[in-house]
Amino acid sequence: MSFLKNIVEKKKVQIGSLAVEIEKMTPAPIAKKSFSTAIGINNKLHLIAEIKRSCPSHGIIKHDLDIKEMVQAYEKGGASALSIITEQEYFKGSFKDIVEIKHHTSLPVLAKDFIIDVSQVTMAHYSGADAILLIMNILDDKTYRKLFTAATEKGMEVLAEVHSRDEITRAMSMPLTMIGVNRRNLNTLIIDKTKTEELASYLPERALKIAESGIDNKEEFAKFHELGYNACLIGSSIVRSNSPEYFIRELLSCNDDKE
């Protein structure tokens, strides 16, 4: 069984317990921030900085990760928005991480998970997320629309993630404000660095465009602006760096080079 199928099956089992958790929660008393505005302003390439402790392809990245310290470094470095993976088993995250992040930042926060049910959308909302990730590969059209509607009714935006031309075609027939090309194959966990360039010309004009996975240097980062992307989502290489703040500044300096 592929990684993606395996994790989706586990999510189906876990969903039942979410209803119990939701009953004990109250929505985070923090006004939603516009994720799309944060990464869409000005004619420059934005950076969505991701917080993650672990991942299935590399194992533990930073076991002693300090969320407050990391968030402050990301902000000082110039990140336009933040992302957190809330999946527990492989990424060691949780919805509680969103609550903590929101205490330390005014930047909009994206909740990334393998979302297949409205209860997960509700958890993201109650935790204070400003946007959620919906992976086209694990959702049929009806479910995508249902989850998109649930998110927007709660004041959250949606980033639709695609991996192929077929998924782009599907996404274009759906409600859509942001679309992300993930260069990592979620079945094999292998990164294909040609994927973002290969699919760039097929992405719809009406949506903000985001490149995801495997971006680890300024030269590579800078190319995405030329390809028409509005932002890059970067996690592992930032977390692993000696100075996340400096690393982010270095990546974003490509915008200064263009002025």
- The pair of three-digit structure tokens given for residue 34, joined into one six-digit string: 């516009």
What are the tokens at 103? Answer: 């205490």
Q: Are 237 and 213 in contact (CB under 8 A)?
A: no
Strands (E), the chain: 46-51, 54-55, 59-60, 81-85, 109-112, 131-135, 157-162, 178-182, 208-212, 231-234
Question: What residues are labeled active site?
Answer: 50, 52, 112, 161, 182, 212-213
If you write DSSP's letter for every residue of 86-149 in order, what string do you get?
Answer: --STTT---HHHHHHHHHH--S-EEEES---SHHHHHHHHHHT-SEEEEEGGG--HHHHHHHHH
| First-last CA distance in the chain | 49
C-beta separation of 208 from 33 below 8 A: no
Give the whole-angstrom CA distance, residue 259 versus residue 257: 6
